[in-house]
Amino acid sequence: MPDSEPSPNGKRRTPLHITSRIDWDTKTGLLYFDWKDGQQSVYNLAELPQNVIDDLLYWGLIARIQQAYCTARGSPEAARQKADKLFDLLKSGDWGLRRGEKSHSITVRALAILLKIPEADAAARFYSLPVDKRREVSSRSDVVAQVAKLKAKATPLQSLDSILK
């Protein structure tokens, strides 16, 4: 089903992708958007007033913490734990978003392990694919299984006994 077609219940199943690439050069402060129609927009973040940058930082952090809360399924305790873990990851610099060559998506890490190649090579191969091929690769059972293993390593399981109380 194409991204723009609604599902039978009237809602789209996946977001409409209107960009083919978004990249940020941290050295120059330039933010690049490659649009699906072949055009490119470049924004110089250094041109923003400091109060706007401060607001983006503040609201961006709130959005990330709220995202952690949403995945807690209504449990304030789980939400606090997720928010604390996120803040610790932010402080350590390993916060789960692609930032230059330092970190890549979990799918890229899984591909690097499966193909026995460096993450940078896996990233180059993966991000050079069209979006539909990326989805095909990401949904393969071997890739999904490797992603699950990586996630399991990153998030220690809570004991079943404590959950069932």
Residue tagged 């990326």 (tokens): 134
Mean pLDDT, rounded, for 69-73? 69
Percent composition of the chain: helix, strand, coil (DSSP 3-state, to 5): 50, 10, 35
pLDDT at 10: 56
Query: Torsions phi, psi of 32, nearest 5?
Result: -110, 135
What distance in Å separates the CA atoms of residue 73 and residue 108, rounded to the nearest whole number? 28
Mean pLDDT, rounded, for 98-103? 39
pLDDT at 115: 93
Local confidence band at 94 (pLDDT 50, 70, 90 cut-offs): low
pLDDT at 27: 81
pLDDT tens figures, 17-70: 777 888 888 788 888 888 888 888 899 888 888 888 888 888 888 887 777 667
CB 90 within 8 Å of CB 122: no
What is the pTM for the complete model shown? 0.42
Q: Is the pLDDT of residue 162 over 60?
A: yes
Q: Is the pLDDT of residue 1 over 50?
A: no
Is the pLDDT higher at 34 or at 73? 34
Q: Taking the mean position of all CA atoms in its chain, how far away is CA 24? A: 14
**pLDDT above 90 as % of the chain:** 8
pLDDT at 110: 92
What distance in Å separates the CA atoms of residue 109 and residue 76, rounded to the nearest whole number? 31
What distance in Å separates the CA atoms of residue 126 and residue 23, rounded to the nearest whole number? 15
pLDDT tens figures, 139-149: 899 999 998 88
Is the pLDDT higher at 42 or at 14? 42
